[in-house]
Copies of this chain bind each other. A is one copy, B any other.
């Protein structure tokens, strides 16, 4: 089955119509080996600059959020002014390079199991994420 047909299936099976725009975005996001970290702006730029396609910014937002809601993307917590997304939807952690504003996946084996000894009463744990901020120099950026 072609990649494109796979994407069509994937979309249909989750109740999303396989439109041109969504398929193009699928290609950009999911047609790769390594996981991909991006902001809406990154994605939008790739589509217009590298691919020379024109997809409305609103559609990029809509699509990314639809994909996130369907579980095809994960939104990552960064102390920042914009949202980061990750094509790696498994439970994993991140390095955040403060010099370049880049997110890097952190293999789960690199971090021992984070065990939470006591949870808030009456609440269910939805996720546990470790964010490791790194930078090259000796300044105390937080």
List residues of chain A with CB under 8 Å of any chain B CB: 68, 71, 74-80, 83, 95, 97-99, 104, 106, 109-112, 114-120, 122-138, 140-142
Task: Tell me how far the C-beta of A125 lies from the nearest C-beta in chain B, rounded to whole angstroms.
Answer: 5
Q: How far is the CA of A79 from the CA of B97 in the complex (A)?
A: 17
Complex interface: chain B residues within 8 A of A136 (CB):
122-124
On chain B, the residues within 8 Å of A141 by CB distance are: 126
Given contacts A123-B134, A134-B125, whether A114 and B114 have CB atoms under 8 Å apart is: yes
Closest B residue, CB atoms, query A80: B77
Do B128 and A132 have beta carbons less than 8 Å apart? yes
Asked if A116 and B110 sit within 8 Å, CB to CB, the answer is: yes
Which single member of B77, B78, B106, B142 contacts A74 (CB below 8 Å)? B142
Q: Give the interface centre of A71, A111, A123 by most chain B CB atoms within 10 Å.
A: A123
6 A/B residue pairs, CB under 8 Å, sorted by A: A71-B140, A75-B79, A77-B131, A95-B120, A126-B141, A129-B131
A99, A111, A122: residue with the most chain B Cβ atoms closer than 10 Å: A111
B104 close to A120 (CB less than 8 A): yes
In chain B, what residue has the closest Cβ to A102?
Answer: B120
**A124: B residues at CB distance < 8 A:** 134-138
Residues A110 and B120 in contact, CB atoms below 8 Å apart: no
Nearest residue, chain B, Cβ from A140: B126
Chain B residues with CB below 8 A from A74, complex form: 142
